[in-house]
Amino acid sequence: MIYNKLSSTQTPTFPETWWGQGDASKEDIEVRPLKIDISKEVLKDLKYRLDNAIPLQPPLEGVQQNYGMNSRLLRKVIDYWKRDYNWTQRQQFLNKFPQYTISVQGLKIHYIHVKPKLIPQYALKVLPLLLLHGWPGSVREYYEMIPLLTELQKGRNIVFEAIAASLPGYGFSEATNKPGMSIARQAQIMKNLMIRLGYKKFYIQGGDIGSGIATQMSVLYPEVLLGVHSNTCLCFMMSCQLKLMLLGTTFPSLLGTEEELPFFTPVGEKYIYKTLLETGYMHIQATKPDTIGTGLRDNPVGLAAYILEKFTTWTNPDWKALEDGGLTKRYPLDSLLDNVMIYWITKSITTSQRLYSETMNAATLGLGIDQIPSSVPTACAVFKNDIWTYPKSLLHTQYRNLVQANYYMDGGHFAAFELPEVLAKDVYDFVEKIID
């Protein structure tokens, strides 16, 4: 009875909310180029804070990263940040792609827009692809992947026009001063961004929150999506959770193939224990985002610890047992600090965290959007070390038109950042299957 009620949830509709200040009738929708150019005063202030940070609390003996980011590892990161990280060079790197802002529903939205160059005649299709990051990430996650998507690959006859957008309240995108900016409302803004840029239909790739936005967009606005590719495919539908907890704990082979079993069993460890271990941040951000944000917004050391810890445990949970957290096994420190710097220089950590509170409150959850399956052609790239991974049988519940689901024994949560070649290939393979 409960399942029937949830599964019959009607798709909600939202008004075109004005999230900005001023008069909506006077919205300036001109596309404006953006170049990152941080003042010397901001950098001088950062240096002062790093140089004068209080001594870190010594870690317990032998705990490595099991109590969070070990202060010995953090000390090395901060020392590198102070001595070796060259913002002048990194800023030049971050400006390598064309960047713009445009107002959508009253908010200035930042995006990278890279069009393919020198496309030969045999490249039959240039396809618009919206790239959506998550938390605690940024558009920086896509820098290594964008060239793979926008330069013609050997043996392919398609190439992408990439639009990597900063979510509202993240990085260089403006935050609202009004409550209610949930994932569903961000889906509306991202849909309208693409329409405003001239794309009536497009493809989308997302990870983490970006995947959630893509999924909800496919439920709310399926008419604009040609296909959805996700590296964070989840199923929070009631039937999914019941099957996972009942069949997954007793007869898991009824849910998944032999290939899939290592990805979702044992259920108690993969879902219950891992959820308790890795989602404390989520509970804080869903209930008290401004409190934790206050502690991070003016403390670069704390901000780095809070963000970089996720790049250890969410890339490979076994790295918690390592003295260095495996932090640079997949990511150069410069790249990781680029991401931290985007949060620091834009002062966006608090506004980024509010998305959890707006999405996980009773009013938003009561809409039941996550109980409505998607009919848009979808692909799931499942990486074994991600936080949660589901077998195809359950993914089909959420994504009724699941065209592709590939399972990778290597890789974790930040796939675009960690394994850009693998993820780009997965995107190409999917689109080639569904393109007209």
SS3 at position 425: helix
Crossing angle of helices 71-83 and 300-313, rounded to 10° = 120
Residue 3 has a pLDDT of: 38
Among 166, 37, 170, 141, residue whose Cα is nearest residue 91: 37
b/e per residue 284-306 (b: at least 16 CB within 10 A): bbbeebeebbeebbebbbbbbbb
Is the pLDDT at 5 greater than 70? The verdict is no
d(CA 107, CA 82): 34
Q: Which residue has the tokens 């005063």?
A: 41
Over its C-alpha atoms, the chain yields an Rg (Å, rounded) of 21
Distance (Å, whole) CA 193 – CA 93? 25
Residues in the chain: 436
Q: Between β-strands 107-114 and 402-408, what pairing exists: parallel, antiparallel or unpaired?
A: unpaired
Largest CA distance in the chain: 63
- Which stretches does DSSP call E strand in 272-390? 378-383
Which residue type, as a one-letter code, is found at position 113?
H
Alpha-carbon distance 169 to 175, whole Å?
4
Instruction: Look at 346 and 10; give whichever has higher pLDDT.
Output: 346
Q: How many CB atoms lie within 10 A of CB 11?
A: 12
Q: Based on the number of CB atoms within 10 Å of its own CB, is 158 exposed (0-12), middle (13-18) or buried (19 or more)?
A: middle
Instruction: Kindly give, in sequence order, each residue whose CB lies less than 8 Å from that of residue 54, ignoring residues fewer than 6 positions away.
Output: none
The answer to whether residues 100 and 12 touch, using CB atoms and an 8 Å cutoff, is no
Mean pLDDT of 75-96: 97
- Quick check: 6 pLDDT over 50? no
Separation between Cα atoms, residue 114 and residue 160, nearest integer Å: 9
Give the whole-number percent of the chain exceeding pLDDT 90: 91
Question: Tell me: the pLDDT tens digits for 167-199?
Answer: 999 999 999 999 999 999 999 999 999 999 999
Q: Residue 9 has what pLDDT? A: 67
| CB-CB contact of 182 with 188 (8 Å) | no
Q: What distances in angstroms separate CA 157 from CA 117, 127, 261, 323, one per listed residue?
A: 14, 11, 35, 46
Give the DSSP H or E segment for 197: none
| Per-position b or e across 111-122, b if 16+ CB within 10 A of its CB | bbebebeeeeee
- The CA-atom distances, in angstroms, between 64 and each of 69, 258, 318 are 8, 33, 11
Q: What is the pLDDT at residue 119?
A: 74
Dump pLDDT digits (tens) for 116-136: 987 766 667 899 999 999 999
Q: Could you report the per-residue pLDDT of 283-334, keeping only the tens digit for each?
A: 999 999 999 999 999 999 999 999 999 999 999 999 999 999 999 999 999 9
Across the range 95-106, mean pLDDT stands at: 98
Confidence of residue 377 (pLDDT cuts 50, 70, 90): very high
Distance CA 244, CA 64 (A): 32
233 φψ region: left (φ > 0), alpha (ψ -120 to 50), beta (else): beta
Residues annotated catalytic, as ranges: 208, 356, 413
> pLDDT value at position 26?
87
Q: Which residues contact 113 (CB under 8 A, 6 or more apart)?
A: 97, 98, 99, 100, 161, 162, 163, 197
Apex 139 CA angle, 119 and 110, nearest 5? 90
Place of tokens 């001023």: 22
